[in-house]
Structure 1
Amino acid sequence: MKYSTLGMNRKRNLYQLYLLFSMKKINLFIEGSEKMGSDLLRE
């Protein structure tokens, strides 16, 4: 039983790290696309 809970915790931690990473990636992508969009509008 202890082993399975350890595995679940590890999976949950990996999942949380993945969520954080993907959110940061999405934020960077949104910022980049907004900058590109404003540059296109400026021209």
Structure 2
Amino acid sequence: MIEMKSENFIVFFFWSYCTEHDWFEMKLFSLVLSTACLFGID
């Protein structure tokens, strides 16, 4: 996996998810991903 900051990782998935899913699903997905990063997934 390409090493990058968690913030950039979240933004990348947040944007790519936005292009294919509705707003609610995007927010839910980004919340889960953000929570995972808080627990040490860099």
Range into which the TM-score falls when normalised by the shorter chain? 0.3 to 0.5
Higher relative contact order (CA 8 A, sep 6+): 2
- Give the structure-2-normalised TM-score: 0.44
- Give the structure-1-normalised TM-score: 0.43
Q: Which has the higher helix share?
A: 1
Greater C-alpha radius of gyration: 1
